[in-house]
A and B are shown apart, each in its own frame.
Chain A
Amino acid sequence: MSVRHAILALLYQRPMYGYELGKHLAPALQVERDIKPGQIANTLARMEEGGLLECRVEAGDGPDRKVYRLTKRGLKELRNWYLTPEIRDYRVGDSFYIKLALGLLGGPVPVEPILKEQRRKLYQELHAANEIRRKAGAQSASPWLLLLENAIAHLEADLRLIDMCEARLDELKTYKPPAPVSKTRGRPRKETQDRPGGEEAGRSTPTVEGESAK
């Protein structure tokens, strides 16, 4: 979550003072919890220091308040942010992937029911998402609906992946993981140290490609 960019985007709409920004941040970021005033104050101070914002002290009914506005630099930063594509994180740490990869090694449960249970669950979720979407109606203007579409598209993709796994299961089951690579400990051996670039070579010696896979 980028509080910094949310602040820039809100200040692009109009200059605001700190308390106002705080009130608008949570709805703008579409999160429920409030963002701590301290965090906002810190971020604002850092952004001002970095020349992204400028602030003017205004006298009001109550105590003086600091009104923040974008600088040219801040505007440039905001533009760049909008035009920089966001890449989703395709993690190897994905929990279903790990389960599947471990299951393929052989375990107390065959892979088929693992896929089956996963598929059932995904269909329940997708059914629920479809229902919400249907009730919300295609006409709803809320950007929230895009988040729902996002969830639906991902569930759909996950289901297609399950189908693909199932279709390729016979192949997948033949996979043998490479033998674990043993690393040399302590100081590298002397002869490797003598060669130019010896340290690099020393590290890679025990893991000759292909040999470990056999």
Chain B
Amino acid sequence: MTRLRDGDRVLVRAPSWLGDFVACEPLLRALHARLPLHGRGSLSIAAPARLLALLDGRLAGAQRLSVGREGPRPQAWRGHDVALLLDGSWRSAWCAWRASIPERLGSARGGRGPLLTSAYTPARERGAAPVGVGRRGRFPRWLPRPFGAVCAEIGAWLGVEVRDPRPRLAPGDRGRAAARARLERAGVREGEPYLLVNAAARPGSAKGAPAELLEGVLAELARARAPRTLLLTAPGETETARRVAELAPGATLLDDPPPDLEELVALCASSACLLTADCGARHVAVALGTPAVVVFGPTDPRHGAEHLERVRGLRVEVPCGPCHRERCPLEGSRRHACMTRIDPRAVAAAALELVGARRSDG
């Protein structure tokens, strides 16, 4: 692989998924520290605007290139020497090629290889299905690996050391103010501990925790006199949360309107613990140092197996998983078994353990 040179104008296409975006933050920081952003050298970060907002006030001098729903535009990418494509989209590779960026580095997945000058084939697994996993992945059996580790490896290939591999986020002023106002409306006093339960899920999504599981968890938490529980939603993902709120009236629903990403970061930063399915919010918690309980459904836990000191993962082994499907295709008792068989008592116990540990940490 070509090593970065002083004076290189580097474009990083960061992932569009929240979790992956947060996981690549240490690499963005390392690139920012490595590249002299004066004279000819520059660093540009391309991602959806809502994710770029997480970097507000940081990485001074780095240019932000917003990627809209229609995807990146080659005109905006012209003038760079190196394109580092951390997302997996074919369109990004095409855009970098159309923008005539001489060095284009990224994974060869998704037919992007011919568009890249440095295409790598990700790690794969071979042999029997891994222990604890119900089935093998589909050919070519990409090895599920933590994305932050992959980013650190890419950085090393370019000659950039990721010295601090832990993602770091901090709530911004706007997010903090919005969170404080919302907590006041919800009756949460300044400094009062609260549990944040992420009930946001696309309607019918297999990745989200089902309302019945969350109801069971909330009932257990109420029995144990846990701190106040706030139910988190996201724009367009309020259906499950509303059902949970109906089933567990003790929890406060934050849906008026659902918090945006900056507010989510602030709410998560001041919470005693986040309880969530395997989604972007868990990575936000890791980056903030907030303890998190994660229930894994159809996803392979190896994708997120890093920085787990304050994370408790819960899952059950099912013969059909991990399937990584958006919707469970099964019916009857096997439907969404990867989630419905998780014991709510174990989830609540894990949350209480983490809250207790945080309290004793001070």
Asked whether A and B interact, the reply is no
